[in-house]
Amino acid sequence: MRRSKNETRLDVAALLAHGSLRDATPLYLTPSSGLIESVVLVSQLEAIRQVRPNTVVVLSTDMGSGGWLVSAALRHAWERRASAVVVAGSAYASAAVGLAERLGITLLATDGEPAALALALAAEIGAALSVVDAELARVARTVAKDATLADVLKTISRELDGVGVLLEYDGIVLASAGMPLRETDEVITVEVGGANSALRGTLTARVPNSSVHNLRLVRSILEVVTPAVKAAWLWEELVSTARAVPTAAIAGLDQDPARSGADFEEQYRHLLTQLGWREGEPYVAVWLRSGQVPVHRPELTAVLRLLWRKVTVRSPLAEVQDGWLVLVSAEDQDASAQLETRIRTRLGPALAELGLVAGLSRWQEDTPALAVIVREARLAAQSAWSMGPGTVLGFAGLGVVAATTFVDMDAVGLVAELSLPRLMISPDRDAIITAVAAFLDHRGSVSLAAKSLSLHRNTLQARLNRARELGVPLDIPSELLSVHLIVKVLRRSMPDTTTSEDPLVNQKGLPEFPV
């Protein structure tokens, strides 16, 4: 592309200066020289309706028998975005020149035979296309030498003079090379893989509006390099699958959650060693998952592996039974925190688009068993799902709150309807529920609860007594946890119920229950 982008670009001005149009007389030239990609000799007016954009329309001598035919041809050619219209030297009138100027289409006249000019122009276009074919073959050979997807994209971008080249999946950028994204006039895309392919994506070139590239040639280059892009993607997917076997093995072996991590490592100590896991090396586990019912589309794992490279290329992503698992080496707590930040900033939007969440295990100074951190990451991912797609949640900021992930909130609401019917139909239900929640939030302190609600202590006490009258068991310690859970669930349906002083709602919006 670097050597041929100007050589293969034919336009009206260049051919008038030193090409097959040099003997034609310009009757009207547009301010910008039109690109020429084809030529057609027209003997019937209707034929102009079929021409492609960037075509030189040459009118036969017969077409010049009436001035209205030239005017009609100009209009049709303008509608088809033709590069120029060529007429016989004696077949035009001054009115046609004025019409060409108003329409903004180049009009030329030839004193020779129009058919001869069309043949000469066709030969020149054919010669340029042969240069394009040679250029495409060269680019294909160059790209075929690259083994990795990153190198393939870099080579494509280099051949296009640094134009931004992207591999995308449903609008998500999986890999890129070249200039950063900016406002462009042209976005050229070709499909990578078909509808039945395990790998499907879109190869995109974003050509800046200041570029002089032949856009047709850019598309042709994308089309010839698509097999190389797919081959590199398939190769990296194969390598990643092989590297991910040790990670997948841990999730596959750990089928008994009641067993301790130490027991797991003792039972599989020799196997883990053979798989490459070194005892005492600190890791953070990352678990990606979809909704409550795992959904694995055939190409999703390949997509996630490319996305994961934006976080780290050293730790392979493994597809496991109900999600995807990665074990990342983390020497200290700072490295663990940086990992969570990278996932949130670099993958968060893509995870949201794909309907996925991510959960991370804690970093611990006393290195826990691999099975333990995998379980932590899995629980964190399950808890993250309640906060919506795109959430990245670390178990370190979750702790015992993970237990609420397994609480059926609708069932809790039904329990309230059945066990506390008088409360549920009471006209002052919302005020009573708010009072009870504040009372339990502040560990039974009426004074602190009243202050948090900006109420007088006696007013809050009256509402608590009213709650007891309606059947709320505030004086039975063994039932307080259940009461606390019920009022928290009921408050979800009340407008603007969460206050800044609510200790049971942490910064992530998850309820916390004292034990």
Task: Kindly report the three-state secondary structure assignment for every residue of 437-457.
Answer: HHHHHCCCCHHHHHHHCCCCH
> Is 505 contained in some domain?
no
Report the pLDDT value the prediction gives residue 357, as an integer from 0 to 100: 94
Residues 390 and 428 in one domain: no
Q: 411 and 390 share a domain?
A: no
DSSP sequence for 79-109:
HTT-SEEEEETTS--HHHHHHHHHHT-EEEE
Percent of the chain predicted with pLDDT > 70: 86
Tell me how many domains the chain contains: 4
Band of pLDDT at residue 135, cut at 50, 70 and 90:
confident
Mean pLDDT of the region 79-108: 87
Answer whether 96's CB lies under 8 Å from 77's CB. Answer: no
Confidence of residue 33 (pLDDT cuts 50, 70, 90): confident
Name the phi and psi angles at 155, rounded to 5: -65, -40
User: 81 lies in a domain?
Assistant: yes
| Sequence-distant (≥ 6) Cβ neighbours of residue 127 within 8 angstroms | none
Is residue 276 in a domain? Answer: yes
The pLDDT confidence band at residue 325, using thresholds 50, 70 and 90, is very high
Q: Which of 173, 198, 226 is the last residue of a domain?
A: 226
My answer on whether 352 and 391 are in the same domain is: yes
CA 19 to chain centre: 47
Say which DSSP state 178 is in. Answer: S
For position 42, which CATH number holds?
3.40.1390.20
Q: Are residues 302 and 373 in the same domain?
A: yes
CA neighbours within 13 Å on the CB side: how many for 10? 26
Note whether 306 and 178 are same-domain residues.
no
Task: Give the number of C-alpha atoms closer than 13 A to the C-alpha of residue 515, restricted to the C-beta side.
Answer: 4
Judge whether 149 and 229 are in contact, CB under 8 Å.
yes
Q: Are residues 377 and 331 in the same domain?
A: yes
Whole-number pLDDT of residue 194: 67
Angle between helix axes 429-441 and 477-491 (nearest 10 degrees) is 120
pLDDT range class, residue 399, cuts 50, 70, 90: low
Which residue segment(s) compose the domain that 213 sits in? 145-226
Q: Is residue 91 part of a domain?
A: yes
- Given 90, 125, 160, the domain boundary residue is 125
In this structure, of 29-33, 65-69, 215-219, 439-443, the range with the lowest mean pLDDT score is: 65-69
Is residue 392 located within the same domain as residue 251?
Answer: yes
Average pLDDT along the chain? 83
Q: Is the pLDDT of residue 515 over 50?
A: no
Mean pLDDT value of segment 241-245: 91
For the cut 90, the answer to whether the pLDDT of residue 29 exceeds it is yes
Q: In this structure, is residue 237 part of a structural domain?
A: no
Q: Is the pLDDT of residue 297 over 70?
A: no
| Banded pLDDT at 125 (limits 50, 70, 90) | confident
Asked if 447 and 468 sit in the same domain, the reply is yes
**Do 375 and 430 share a structural domain?**
no
> What is the predicted pLDDT for the residue at 281?
83
d(CA 50, CA 62) in angstroms, rounded, equals 19
State residue 324's pLDDT score: 94
The pLDDT confidence band at residue 228, using thresholds 50, 70 and 90, is: very high
Cα 61 to Cα 33: distance, rounded to the nearest angstrom: 25
CA distance 197 to 306: 17
**Lowest-confidence region among 308-312, 318-322, 488-492:** 488-492
pLDDT at 196 (0 to 100): 64
Q: Is residue 500 part of a domain?
A: no
Whether residue 366 sits in one domain with residue 291: yes
Instruction: State the pLDDT at residue 218.
Output: 87
Q: Supply the pLDDT for residue 155.
A: 94
Backbone angles phi, psi at 225, to 5 degrees: -95, -10
CATH (domain of 271): 3.30.70.270
Cβ within 8 Å of residue 414, ≥6 positions away: none
Q: Give the range with max mean pLDDT: 131-140, 383-392, 448-457.
A: 448-457
509 inside domain: no
Residue 512 has pLDDT above 50, yes or no: no
Indicate whether 73 and 162 sit together in one domain: no
Contact 235, 206 (CB under 8 A): no
Which carries the bigger pLDDT value, residue 391 or residue 62?
391
DSSP labels, 123-159: HHHHHHHHHHHHHHHHHHHHHHT--SHHHHHHHHHHH
Identify whether 159 is part of a domain.
yes
Q: Is residue 386 located within the same domain as residue 420?
A: no
Choosing from 396, 415, 446, the residue where a domain stops is 396
